[in-house]
Amino acid sequence: MAFIMTFSPYSTVLAQDPFVGGTLTVPMGSDALTLNPFTWGSVYESYIIGHIYDALVQNDINNQPTPVLCTGWTHNETLEKWIFTIREDVYWSDGELMDIYDVNYTWYLLWTDPAIPRRSWLFDEIFDITVLSETQIQVEFWWGPKPADVLYDFATTWIVPQHIWEDITDIYTFANEEPVGCGPFVLEEWSHGSFFRFSRNDQYYLDGPWVETKIVQIIREIEAGYYALSVGDIELLGAVPPELENVAKSDPNIEIHEYLNDYIMYLGLNQRRYPNDEVNFRKAVLHGINRSEIMEIAGYGRGLVAPASMSLPYGAYYNPDIEQYAYDVALANQLLDDLGFLDTDNDKVREDGLGDPLKFNLGVSAEYQESVDTARMIQNYMLALNISITVQPVIWDILWSTVGGPGGSYASKYDYDWAFLGWTGFWSDFHPSWAYWMFSANRWWGSDNVNIPGWNSSVRWEVTTLVDEVLYETDEAIVRQKLDEAQVLIAEDLPYLPIRITGGVTLYRTDKFTGWIMGNTTGPDNWQSWMAVHLIEPDEGAPGFEIMTAVLAVGFILGITYFRKRRK
């Protein structure tokens, strides 16, 4: 597994400004249906909107905050009051100057209208918003949220121009077809179902972007996308399946970038049932699974083996001093023997303390081949432990409601033995509250309403206390210490049996554009990259088109005349 070294755009040293020009074409899998920054529904829409609008703060590829529309921020000791200073050289695409009142208008709109679909949860925690001066605005919360929350969740709200939006009667139904923003690109053309065409904002207040035109082309079929990539019609391609990745290896103009997703696939043992609630049983099972082999085979080598603390291993708060649960069949069998789960009737299946055989159903989503493959591999591994597993592939919706996922129908809630599925890592690589969101019994995911694995040992309450304290703790050192403790406890008690962190691959060309910036969890097409990517050489026009048409036309006419002569 190779990771690209990360670096911030401002540290790139260039002898001179890069060439301005060129047309950068990138693909998108589906159409965006609206460009309304308050009501967008899919990642495609947020991607497009992100080209047009800016926020006070932008997160870079390592999810660290970078000032964009603002020049900086300060906060008081208790983190309740935050003051942002905005730039004075920002212009909207219709020529108007962006000022503090636009920020005020946007935040006010979101603060007073809880029904707006795209609204950070922090707006509910706001006590007051005050304009302090022509360049400064203060927001005051009821309690002091973590800087990561404020900067990642609140300050990244897109700012809209007041002079346009205050005239709109119904923002819910406003499609925003001709958006006016102050972002790095200006939308020139939106051909529904086909493409978006942007031109660079030449009044942009930061360095860049350097490409003159950016086209986001909708390409629905990944194979067609690969062809387009290999002939140079598009510059990059994401979500690439393994077979195309292999083909790309032989093309010298295409580079491969592997990245990780903030998504952890885990094996959930339903601890509402015996013997799943025996911690040593869970440990034995995890020792008996060869997770790196699963990653290599079922995952085609993408991703990482997930740590037992269910946290991403390259973040600021990661504690590496936890039990690693190496693949050790002997140890697993030993643990099971110590528990008294012996094979009393010699049928190759152990019996538990109550005399019932260790036979379990393993539910998995039938819609993902990787998951089904993983489930079968786990089934195999369990044979060496004399545990009998029946793999049950079901439709995702059914699996989700069975394990107790929110939004499902509850006909057969919690009626499962084992299940293999995945969930977000809650931004554990940079967000100190991640453990709170995932494990606290007071937060919806870990609460009794959801609590998918049915974790209910005494450790659950210990961890809950710790992470709740972390939520409100302002001292960074104490936050780290408590998170370290929590991770150790979690790794010891194994509420989830994490298998792997999923990963993906993006392909990108290197012959025309350069300057791509990528990270552990992001591909080349991100905001930072937009500021950096530029042509290697100045662009010459494409010559062939006219000649080709002429050749075709002449050929056609000749063909017809010849054909008619023959027929006569």
| Residues in touch with another protein (CB under 8 A) | 23, 33-34, 36, 39, 41, 115, 170, 172-175, 188-189, 191-195, 197, 213, 215, 217-221, 223-224, 227-228, 230-233, 545, 548-549, 551-552, 568
**Minimum CB distance to another protein, residue 309 (Å):** 35
What is d(CA 514, CA 61) in angstroms, rounded to the nearest whole number? 17
Whichever of 218 and 391 has its CB closer to another protein, that residue is: 218
| Residue linked to tokens 């300057």 | 515
Other beta carbons within 10 angstroms of residue 497's beta carbon come to 23
Task: Quote the DSSP letter at residue 10.
Answer: G
Asked whether 118 and 39 are in contact (CB, 8 A), the reply is yes
| Of 219 and 435, CB closest to another protein | 219
Beta carbons within 8 Å of 198's beta carbon, 6+ residues apart = 51, 52, 185, 186, 187, 188, 213, 214, 215, 216
Please identify, using beta-carbon distances, which residue of 301 and 405 lies nearer to another protein: 405
Q: Please state the closest distance from residue 437 (CB atom) to another protein, in A.
A: 23
Beta carbons of 506 and 245 less than 8 angstroms apart: no
Helix (H) or strand (E) run with residue 390 in it? strand 388-394
| 3-class state of residue 383 by DSSP | helix
What contacts 7, CB < 8 A, 6 or more positions away? Answer: 517
> How many residues belong to the chain?
568
The residue among 93 and 230 lying less far from another protein, judged by its C-beta, is 230
Smallest distance from another protein to CB 160, Å: 16
Residue closer to another protein (CB basis): 175 or 478? 175
CB of 173: closest distance to another protein in angstroms? Answer: 5
Closer residue to another protein in complex, CB, 26/494: 26
CB of 49 to another protein, least distance (A): 14
- Between the alpha carbon of residue 314 and those of residues 269, 306, 428, 447, the distances in Å are 27, 11, 9, 27
Least Cβ distance, residue 91 to another protein (angstroms): 24
468-480 burial, b at 16+ Cβ within 10 Å, e below that, comes to: bebbebeeeeebb
For Cα atoms 81, 84, 85, give the angle at the middle one, nearest 5 degrees: 145
Min dist. Cβ of residue 234 to another protein (A): 8
Least separation in angstroms between CB 390 and another protein? 33
- What is the per-residue DSSP string for 313-329? TTSTT----S------H
DSSP state of 123: G
Which region holds residue 516: left if phi is over 0, alpha if psi is between -120 and 50, else beta?
beta
Cα-only R_g, the chain: 28
For another protein, the closer of residues 383 and 554 by Cβ is 554
Amino acid at 246: N
Nearer to another protein, 111 or 174 (CB): 174
Q: Which is nearer to another protein, 34 or 309 (CB)?
A: 34
Residue 27 or 303 with smaller CB distance to another protein: 27
> Closest approach of Cβ 223 to another protein, in Å?
6
Q: Is 259 exposed, middle or buried (0-12, 13-18, 19+ CB in 10 A)?
A: buried
Q: CB of 199: closest distance to another protein in angstroms? A: 9
CB of 216 to another protein, least distance (A): 9
What crossing angle do the helices spanning 242-249 and 222-231 adopt, rounded to 10°? 10
Q: Which is nearer to another protein, 197 or 350 (CB)?
A: 197
Cα–Cα separations (whole angstroms), residue 322 to 294, 310, 371, 491? 21, 11, 26, 6
3-state SS, residue 149: helix
